[in-house]
Chain A
Amino acid sequence: MIISQTWRGLPLRQLFNTFNIGLLLVVLLVVLALLAPYISTFDPNVQNIQDRLLAPNAQHWFGTDRFGRDLFSRVLHGARPTLLLVSLVILLTVPIGLTVGICAGYFGGWVERILMRLTDIVMSLPSLVIALALVSILGPGLMNGALALAFTSWPSFARQARTETLSIRRSDYLTAAKMQGVSGWRLIFGHILPLILPSAIVRAALNLGGIILSAAGLGFLGMGIQPPAAEWGSMVASGSRVIFDQWWVAAVPGVAILLASLAFNLLGDGLRDKMDPRHDK
């Protein structure tokens, strides 16, 4: 009599977990953005007033907008500035957040107090409002939008890095490294950073969804990339004028924002389950 005590899940169930679905969607998004000029059926910026506000049909799969531009091509091209902006924000925030957090946790005392109060102050600022203020000072554009969003999104990385640094500061392996003469920046970047990085990556993936929404928000308010370039937020804004009669003009970029944000959230959730043993089942 041989009986197995374990319950083994179906292979399909293991294949379609959060991580894989998120990864698939993100990869799809990146590939579509990279190949946008080859896939798109029309030039995204060519206006054709005769074909304005067409409903989805065989020629224009997602319909056309107020200037007769093909929405399918514009949504594809719109993925490019969004992904670019999001990557810029992450490249700016993760290093700043980690440096502030690790220094606060490692040095303690006055350094910690000053850095963490600064973090608290920035954290208490309403991020989109501050981003709008910054963009209106700096002038609208991709780079300025990224700077503005980065300014308010580094504190969560700093807080997490500080907490984790505190928890490993007294560990035996760091003490041993200190006894062996390893100190200063070598200890911080060579020994502490590799332990903090995985959870920072998870947090970055989780934050990406929110940053996509903020980027779209900036675009919607006309503070992102300037027309006529395709950008999801500004596409929703222009579509909102005709939303009751030609709903697809706003809905198509809206769905694109939703899917992109969802993709990164799923990926982040999946990454967390993979990397964090506390979420292990």
Chain B
Amino acid sequence: MTNNTSLVDVRGLRIGLDDGTELVKGIDFSMGHERVALVGESGSGKSLTARSLMGLLADSLVVEADHFQLLGHPVLSYRQSQWNRLRGQQVSMVLQDPKYALNPTQNIGRQVAEPLVLHQSMSSKARLEKVEYMLDAVGLANPAKLRKMYPHQLSGGMGQRVMLAIALINDPQLLIADEPTSALDHAVRDQVLALIHSLVEERNMGLLLISHDLQQVADYCERVMVMYQGILIDHLPAEALPNATHPYTQTLWSCRPNITKRGQPLPTLDRQHLETLK
């Protein structure tokens, strides 16, 4: 697999409600086997965009696009059964809060093995080995014991590692991570992001990382796309962030508090000015 293959190619993506309100207002983007961050405030449409790439939008939403290809498949016309063959096998997703994303009544081993059961035929012994290998790969100690544990026995960080194991067990080509660290403690956030980064790089996968914290994700991505009210307003390489020219990107980049900014107000968005820029 080379880096030139296009994983996602979207042109004129529009997502709206039944009544005609547009939430995503015609965005174009494409990505290959690379790490891309999609950044914006809540309500900017970033999560909707990500969910449309998984075919996971609610039925009440209307999706339209001039061109919508995922791993070369014209997925816009796909039925759920066709999506099911793609999801969890070639594209997978890590959600925000492992507390809600893991099934509380099933043990970890069974949940990690589920994508294998659905998409691959292998002996139960091979499956078990793969599960333990995967739990080890996401940095969880003692996989044999962990396999038999239940979600409530894990901390948030461990839960998110388990989610990652589930997402990566079928060696997908594209991983979508929707705010994977915002339910976690500050100290654990960087660990989980670094883990995602190294696993994705190792496997030469594509990563679409969604976040509202530009500074935090910048270290783990090559490119950054910035969304504001359903529009992609800025698009730049991660190294160029400190010198961003768009005022929205500038503010997102510099609004994070730290000890050096004590005593001075934090930069905030001039929303009226942004309206004129749109």
Contacts from A to B (Cβ < 8 Å): 1-7, 281
Contact = CB atoms under 8 A, between A and B. Distances in A.
Contacts of B65: 2
Contacts of B77: 3, 5
B60 A6 contact: yes
Contacts of B52: 5
A9 B252 CA distance: 42
The 8 closest A-B pairs by CB, nearest first: A5-B63, A3-B77, A3-B76, A6-B62, A2-B64, A6-B59, A4-B62, A5-B76
B62 to A, nearest CB: 5
Q: Interface size for chain B: under 10, 10 to 19, 20 to 34, or 35 or more residues? A: 10 to 19
B67 A1 contact: yes
Main secondary structure of the interface of B (DSSP, over half): mixed
B222 interface: no
Contacts of A1: 66-67
Main secondary structure of the interface of A (DSSP, over half): loop
B61 interface: yes
A247 to B, nearest CB: 47
A26 to B, nearest CB: 28
13 contacts: A1-B66, A1-B67, A2-B65, A2-B66, A3-B64, A3-B76, A4-B64, A5-B52, A5-B61, A5-B62, A5-B77, A6-B59, A6-B61
A5 B66 contact: no
B183 interface: no
Contacts of A7: 59
Contacts of B59: 6-7, 281
Contacts of B158: none
Contacts of A6: 59-63
B57 interface: yes
A223 B84 CA distance: 60
Contacts of A4: 62-64
Interface in B26-78: 52, 55, 57, 59-67, 76-77
A2 B63 CA distance: 9
A5 B57 CA distance: 9
A95 B158 CA distance: 47
A1 B67 CA distance: 7
Given A2-B64, A3-B76, A6-B62, 18 more contacts: A1-B66, A1-B67, A2-B65, A2-B66, A3-B77, A4-B62, A4-B63, A4-B64, A5-B52, A5-B55, A5-B57, A5-B76, A5-B77, A6-B59, A6-B60, A6-B63, A7-B59, A281-B59
Contacts of B62: 4-6
A6 B64 CA distance: 10
A75 B76 CA distance: 57
B259 to A, nearest CB: 30
B68 to A, nearest CB: 8
A4 B64 CA distance: 6
B132 to A, nearest CB: 36
A14 to B, nearest CB: 11
B210 to A, nearest CB: 20
Q: Which of A2, A4, A5, A7 has the most CB of B within 10 A?
A: A5
B82 to A, nearest CB: 12
A4 to B, nearest CB: 6
A1 to B, nearest CB: 7
A7 B62 CA distance: 9
Contacts of B64: 2-4
A80 to B, nearest CB: 42
A2 B66 CA distance: 6
